[in-house]
Structure 1
Amino acid sequence: MKKLLIIPIIIFLCFIAQIFYMGHINESFFYNLTQTQNPYYEIKNINFHKGFLNSKADFTIEDKYNLGLISKLDFKFNNNYFSKFIAQGKLSNPFKLLDDKLQNKELAWFKIQSIQNDLNV
């Protein structure tokens, strides 16, 4: 009887452990993404809020040529190995003249999906 009770407890603990592991992997992926150096743009206002099943992150990209192009990227990471998407996000519009034409001033939406240990964007 005790063995039958131990098996679901072990499965539950493994599920909880993979959630914490995926949260750590998502956080390191995000910080690796934002530490990229580029002569054309600068990444500012880096925020990462780790949650239990989901984590949220955002940052701002500004051009280095004083053209006034500023875009914000928002991410929602799923901290579950079995979820369909690793992350979902949206890119805000850096061009003022398109604000009237775009819904919610968003230029693009994206989803990152894992396919056999490779990333598909």
Structure 2
Amino acid sequence: MKKWIFIVFCFILGFIIHIFYIGYTNELLFNKFIKNSNPDYTITDIYFKKGFLTSKGSFTLNHSHTQLSTKINLKFNNYFFLNKIIKGNFTNPFDFLDEVLKNNKLGTFTLKLHDNNSKIFLNIKDINLSNEGGDTIINGGYIEALMNKNLEIKNIKIHFDMINFSQFYTKFVLQNLNYEQFFNNPVQFYELNLFSNSQQEINFNYLML
């Protein structure tokens, strides 16, 4: 009987130690999210609360030139039984989209850890905006990026099922857009741009101008 009690005690103790360790590593991961050396961006309203099974964090990302900002909310699982370590969402920075986006959320994302790499999958909400000037339709958008353990991006893929802009006498339609960028050297999260030293691939099924 005492042997079983000891085994159960060791199991519970090991589980608790495991939870606290993962919670600690998640806090370190959150600190990597808010690390920024790009003067074009500022990070404000930083919040992190470490819990037992889950931890929560958030921050606001501001772009100095466009005056746009988005709030990023994150939920961390403090155990490895789930593959999706981090779930989150980000708010809409564009005022003209407020009427078509539910709860002011522009998208959601999940982040998974794979050995020394991590993969983030970002899903962009569908947009169907109509007004007197025309229509704006954006469907099936997502961004997928492979990062190293420091959250530096190694490659990124962007996909849209449909992009349709119709304004007065102009029309732009693009279907099944795929864009991939492979960086020669990993780039920091907030240093991402199309002109980095990299290889790029782009293809689509249909284009109308």
User: One fold, TM greater than 0.5?
Assistant: yes
Tell me how far apart the structure 2 counterparts of residues 99 and 87 of structure 1 sit (CA, whole Å).
26
Max radius of gyration: which structure? 2
Q: Deviations over 1:3-25 (max 9, x none)?
A: 22211111111111110001000
Q: CA deviation at 1:2?
A: 1.8
**Highest RCO, 1 vs 2 (Cα 8 Å, sep ≥ 6):** 1
Shift of 1:83: 2.1
Q: CA deviation at 1:84?
A: 2.9
**Amino acid aligned to 1:75:** L
Match of 2:21 in 1: 21
Which residue is 1:118 aligned to? 117
Give the structure with the higher percent helix: 1
Distance 2:88 2:34 in 1: 15
Q: Distance in 2 between matches of 1:70 and 1:118?
A: 28
How far has the Cα of 1:68 moved from its partner? 2.3
Number of residue pairs the alignment of both structures matches: 120
1:90 aligns with 2:71: no
Structure 1 residues 17-96: aligned runs within 5 Å: 17-65=17-65, 67-96=66-95
Letter in 2 for 1:68: Q
Gaps of 5+ in 1: none
Amino acid at match of 2:12: F
Instruction: Give the whole-Å Cα distance in 1 for the aligned partners of 2:20 and 2:26.
Output: 10
Q: What is the deviation of 1:64?
A: 1.4
Is the counterpart of residue 11 in structure 1 residue 11 in structure 2?
Answer: yes
**Identity, % of aligned positions:** 39
For structure 2, list consecutive stretches of 5 or more residues without a partner in the other structure. 121-209
More strand as a share of residues: 2
RMSD: 1.3
